[in-house]
Structure 1
């Protein structure tokens, strides 16, 4: 079957027929009405509820949350697919303001849960009828020392619309508006950003360097706007830290992730102690490619057969086969994204860069956005995003408050899916040269998902710490970026000069404080889980399914405990890097055989 252009566009009519659909207007009106009714019913009374009453309030709150979020998710999908559309811009802004208003209306609920006296809270939380909400209750209470009065919280949320959220929106619109011109194969043409980044997998080193330089220099041209965005986001975060009495920039993220500070610090320190593994691989790849030394534009260069182009149909089938070989039900869940057109495939002007899977609610199916250009990395991206989709679908057995997995586990299924794809491709190949190419691609992916994300986290940490002392010029941001990347590359890789602007297109810095260490966490966790799968075979599958089905109903530590994993084990993170070292040795063996 050959995919046509229609099947490569997602079908948002499954949510609403159009931005002005009567059903959408009705949901907005109903949501506002029910939010007011919920506030009238429970305001000032939450602390007086018994366990059964609080359970009923949770159920109403969850139903209301699903109703309120649906129009916002729909608007986000439209805006991500085409931010050039005025209708999409207007709906996106309208629903953002609606969500902000509804959030202010409902702030009281969590605040009153925090206000329940400790002794009474312990009694209520222990009641069996609230068993399904025990984890949520504990999470809410953890933020009690950092929470302000309802009026103060409302004002902060209100000002977000014209503060950090406005600058976040500016970043998205500005990035999506970029157009790039570059000569390729004797012809100058226009590219999207994703198409240029896709050329980092081109077999010609000069094309790779020109593509990345073109991409980065376009961002440099917007130094004033991008510098203002990053400074404002950092300043806003710093002011909130002060208002809420947090000790350091990463503390609220760690608290929300339920990961102790010492565990995060150990994760990052162990990662840095293993940077030498990446440098060893970069030197090995340079020899493999007959180059004296890699530039950072050569890191993802194809080796042998991986310069081939995959059609989308080929990529889809490879990914579905990999999931199906592990668990036939997984294939069916992933195949539904294509059959139901919940996946948007090709890059185009106005479309958001990168890729994401949007988990909706326990009653709404997730959507996937790609920017597919046909290289092996894009095939892996399909496996990655469908892993997210699989996770969201399996977690739909949870209720709304327990639906979304905590950030450290949010990347588990996606990274595991990439591992399944790699091993599936390796098992199908008998040619050592092709196996070398595939193994290189997997090692590079692990390096990108662990070491590079650690570099990003260190840069973000330094950015927030230095912003407390005053404005960060774009030049200073470039310096911080260069220094942190230099710690990883050492003398093994030369960075091209335009790479000083590599910080300027990383959307995680804008949308989610310190998200990036979740990738490192997930990759090392998955390497451990995959090792257990290799040891136990099919007996491991129910345990893995249980991890994904748990959604956000448990802490990360409790979620992975059934797999025999102890996140507090000081040696845990090193085991993942030992696995990477084994892959590099396997690669050396294949090179020797060839």
Structure 2
């Protein structure tokens, strides 16, 4: 059998040829800008007494959204592979301005929809039955929309601070073992086999965070200050109002999930203590959390990782298997370890060509394989929705993490079932439990921090020292006191705190994790309908509330704790099994 070599560098030329100097991209943006101006005029002159013009308006909204998303994803990819690309930085600013104008026009549409007489509203729905959910949502959201003046300021005010964070973070380098590394490369060393390297990388990053914490505090404060100002202008008092609306989730659902998490900390603290003991510590150090337990085939070549992923995806079903083939064969993945790459892994969707691009720094470990699988799960979500029109593809963050988590489970389940020794089983359980700790402890800590930070920010600027204190307190509660020291600069290196499009991008991960666990457990008994049911759920993810989606596809009420307990029980079993295996191996 011939060995296949897969290129770990993606192909962007098939999207727009020429990089940041692309004439094709320039033409695309100019055309989109003209289209945007035409739409602006149509919306301003549209009388709410007449449903006729809305047919063109909804068509234009879809086409412009598709075009803007295509251009934005391309620039995101260019900057991820080289943050020093100044031309790409300039174009990103232009695209951000166009997106802000688009959102401002969409806001006008929402407000006009809220003022349409009932007979006009019924005519609009009759013309656009596929958009009933999203249009109803827009009509109901109208009162929460920022004014046109605020929307126009967001490009150079709000979103600009988020971009400054990304650029600043990408420019930082640290020295470990004499090598100058990017933040992403240094963070990857958290899973290095040598504990001394893990600790040195951690210390080097802490020194860098301490050096720059004043600047990061300014960025975070300005982001939160602008956000709170928008909320105030819209009459929003609770900082969770917007995140819950964005995630199409009821507060009762979030509260039920959080209660289950709060009640089940101890088993995961026990796992951390057991792992710490295996590493020779009495209590878990944060920089040893990612340590890989002894496992055969620790170093995984990229080609081997690709073959493994293709095999596992194909085991789910034909659609998922063919998707993996296309993603790797057509150059959708950039996994090479090289300088100047940004630290954060991501998946970017290209809706005009129905493609995706996946970005990460592959570190030749099983964890690296899982990171690649996670991002490919996002790409599969995009693939599943390619037949859905663009407005109904805008699924919330809570559901965005479902496919990625599901893909990880496919890998972990197969790996555990094929494990031949206790050492291998312990290794896989450790990888599974790392995800549980992240979702039930780390992300809970982030949620606590973000909520308390916003409350303090209402009263004024929050200093870097106070941010450290808030982070320490949140981590202690989130981890139930199970760490030896608290990485107080988590608020700096966690990019989710700086995402302008998604405040409180923490609980959506946990939602997606537990939802995927529940679906995976049900789907295993579905036989041949396994992949079909999964695809159906993903297709509906942009046109239903979270509660309705889960009721339709799983028959469960997610406002009740029982649903979340079912997923949690699977994770608790992992913890029990890990502790038993660890004790047996110690003997």
SS for the counterpart of 2:295 is helix
User: Structure 1-normalised TM-score?
Assistant: 0.92
User: What is the deviation of 1:121?
Assistant: 6.1
Does structure 1 residue 580 correspond to structure 2 residue 581? Answer: no
Other-structure match for 2:38: 37
Does structure 1 residue 330 correspond to structure 2 residue 330? Answer: no
Other-structure match for 2:494: 506
Higher mean C-alpha deviation, range 319-328 or range 406-415: 319-328
C-alpha separation in 2, matches of 1:114 and 1:15: 38
User: What is the deviation of 1:82?
Assistant: 0.9
Other-structure match for 1:557: 547
How many residue pairs get aligned? The number is 579
C-alpha separation in 1, matches of 2:353 and 2:115: 31
Return 5+ residue gaps in structure 1 as ranges.
none
User: What is the deviation of 1:111?
Assistant: 2.6
Does structure 1 residue 391 correspond to structure 2 residue 384? Answer: no
User: What is the deviation of 1:386?
Assistant: 0.5
Other-structure match for 2:345: 355
SS for the counterpart of 1:191 is strand
1:420-569 mapped onto 2 (5 Å cutoff):
420-495=410-485, 499-511=487-499, 512-560=502-550, 561-569=552-560
Other-structure match for 1:49: 50
C-alpha separation in 2, matches of 1:374 and 1:39: 50
User: What is the deviation of 1:372?
Assistant: 1.1
Over 3 Å counting, the alpha-carbon distance change for 1:87 and 1:144 in structure 2 is closer
Asked if 1 retains the 8 angstrom alpha-carbon contact of 2:49 and 2:120, the reply is no
Other-structure match for 1:196: 186
User: What is the deviation of 1:35?
Assistant: 2.2
SS for the counterpart of 2:524 is helix
C-alpha separation in 2, matches of 1:120 and 1:261: 32
Does structure 1 residue 61 correspond to structure 2 residue 61? Answer: yes
Asked if 2 retains the 8 angstrom alpha-carbon contact of 1:362 and 1:400, the reply is no
Other-structure match for 1:288: 278
Higher mean C-alpha deviation, range 526-535 or range 469-478: 526-535
Asked if 2 retains the 8 angstrom alpha-carbon contact of 1:216 and 1:502, the reply is no
SS for the counterpart of 2:73 is helix
SS for the counterpart of 2:525 is helix
User: What is the deviation of 1:102?
Assistant: 4.4
User: What is the deviation of 1:589?
Assistant: 4.3
Over 3 Å counting, the alpha-carbon distance change for 1:403 and 1:465 in structure 2 is same
1:290-305 mapped onto 2 (5 Å cutoff):
290-305=280-295
C-alpha separation in 1, matches of 2:76 and 2:423: 43
Other-structure match for 2:80: 80
C-alpha separation in 2, matches of 1:451 and 1:177: 30
Other-structure match for 2:119: 120
Over 3 Å counting, the alpha-carbon distance change for 1:274 and 1:120 in structure 2 is farther
Other-structure match for 1:181: 175
Deviation per CA, 1:350-397: give whole Å up to 9, x if none: 322121111232643111111111122111011100000000011111
- What root-mean-square deviation, in Å, do the aligned CA atoms of Structure 1 and Structure 2 show? 2.1
User: What is the deviation of 1:477?
Assistant: 0.3
C-alpha separation in 2, matches of 1:74 and 1:348: 20
Asked if 2 retains the 8 angstrom alpha-carbon contact of 1:362 and 1:399, the reply is no
Asked if 1 retains the 8 angstrom alpha-carbon contact of 2:96 and 2:159, the reply is no
Other-structure match for 1:164: 158
Other-structure match for 1:143: 141
Return 5+ residue gaps in structure 2 as ranges.
none
Asked if 2 retains the 8 angstrom alpha-carbon contact of 1:343 and 1:367, the reply is yes
User: Structure 2-normalised TM-score?
Assistant: 0.93
Asked if 1 retains the 8 angstrom alpha-carbon contact of 2:444 and 2:478, the reply is no
C-alpha separation in 1, matches of 2:361 and 2:48: 49
Deviation per CA, 1:216-259: give whole Å up to 9, x if none: 22122112210100111111111111111112111111012111
